[in-house]
Structure 1
Amino acid sequence: MVKKTDRRQIRTKQLLRQALLECIEEKGIDHVTVTDVAERANLNRGTFYLHYRDVPDMLDTLMNERFEQVFSLVRLLDPRELSQYAFAGEPYPKVLAIFEEVLRNADFFKVMLGPKGELSYAMQFRNLMSSHLFSKLEYIMPEGAPTLVPREYLVAYMTAANFGMVLHWIQNGFRETPYQMALIATQLVNHGPIVSSGIRTVPRIEAPNDAPGS
């Protein structure tokens, strides 16, 4: 009996989630009410209140769930590992996992990061990505280590570039597969825009000896 109840609750939350996203697309995030969501899901308001206090509470719950899931994967990234795959011409598996997770929740990210979604949510993603990059660089290259540009500008550039790439993929309807996107991201992050554009070739002397498959 418990399992049946759990399945029913999961199904109800799925209906509410889909209804919320559809309402946001139609009315904008600031104009959606509990009645809107319940009616769209063909459920009564009482059922909605069994799971959420109100629309902002539901939004916060959904956003936090997706946020934590994506960044549990982002935190695993290691630039040194990524370089090995870039020189081997393969997508970095940990980057691939991120794109696969985004695609699994394509409807959510398309709405929430779209024109009628939540701007602060996009900023939240960017800020945590920036914080992650700072901590990773600090671990790999302690403060005072020589860099071509100031660390804060390096992090700002990498954060904006990577978030912009993901956002472009979402806004263009997920045309590329997660594999293709992971390969693009792996090459861009490791080689930068000049080499990635073909203006300059990849210096062979930089290729590590322990690349995958070597």
Structure 2
Amino acid sequence: MFGITGPQAPDRRVRRTRRAVQQALVELILEKGYDAVTVTDVIGRADVGRSTFYAHFTGKQEVLFSNLDELVRILHPVPRAAPAALFSFSLPMFEHVREQGRLVRALIGRRGGTTVVAHAEQVLAAVVREELLASLPDGRRPPESLDLVVTGIVGAFMALVREWVDGDFTATPAVLNDAFLSLVVPGAEALLAQAPGAGPGHGR
């Protein structure tokens, strides 16, 4: 009697409810900042009951983290068979950030939670480190300063993104990308050129 529609309906309702709560939190963060938002605020904005809210989330932090999937998608580059240059993933990332500016501003802008910023930095650090390792000349080992350089590159990217989404300056993704690459590529290339050889005792 119910066919396919019946079993799917609860799933659709669950998705709609979760999405309404997630969007409500984003709106409230942009209005008053994450720390000032309460579960009661979110429930009222999403127009759901308290029991319904707690059937899906344990609290506002879990709602915040549930939005991370989209942020991780933004910060993960599309796989490329043969990158033409170092950090060519950065322009698509800046473009994704512009498309999802409201969400990114809520999650990692000044009004967002610091825990989310730390998570975003970890995601981006993994991407940068992987690219640097893949760009090492044949037979070279990662230099000891690799992680320090990764931290600096991630810091530069995040600083540009956060200032951008918070409206401190206006620029196109291409302009931001040029600024980012001019900051980080020379240092990354110098790091790769100084990578020690693979043989015992090399680079020591």
Look up the SS of the partner of 1:82 in the other structure: coil
Identity of paired residues, percent? 24
Change (3 A) 1:116 1:187: closer
Counterpart position of 1:68:
72
Change (3 A) 1:6 1:161: same
1:184 aligns with 2:175: yes
Please point out which of 15, 21, 24 is paired with 1:16. 21
1:36 aligns with 2:46: no
Change (3 A) 1:144 1:37: closer
Change (3 A) 1:106 1:54: same
Q: How does 1:13-162 map to 2 (within 5 A)?
A: 13-63=18-68, 65-73=69-77, 76=79, 80-82=83-85, 94-141=89-136, 142-143=140-141, 150-162=145-157
Change (3 A) 1:48 1:82: same
**How far apart, CA to CA, are the structure 2 residues paired with 1:133 and 1:11?**
35
Cα offsets for 1:16-37 (capped at 9, x unmatched)? 1222123334443234333221
Alpha-carbon contact 2:71-2:120 (below 8 Å) kept: yes
**What TM-score do you get using the length of structure 2 for normalisation?**
0.67
Larger displacement relative to structure 2 (129-138 or 159-168): 129-138
Higher relative contact order (CA 8 A, sep 6+): 1
**What TM-score do you get using the length of structure 1 for normalisation?**
0.64
Paired positions, count: 177
Alpha-carbon contact 1:162-1:185 (below 8 Å) kept: no
Provide structure 2 residue ranges, at least 5 long, that are not aligned to the other structure. 186-204
**How far apart, CA to CA, are the structure 2 residues paired with 1:46 and 1:100?**
39
Counterpart position of 1:199:
none
**How far apart, CA to CA, are the structure 1 residues paired with 2:176 and 2:84?**
14
Let me know the Cα RMSD of the aligned residues: 3.5
Please point out which of 136, 139, 161 is paired with 1:166. 161
Change (3 A) 1:78 1:117: farther
Counterpart position of 1:204:
none
**How far apart, CA to CA, are the structure 1 residues paired with 2:155 and 2:28?**
29
Counterpart position of 2:192:
none
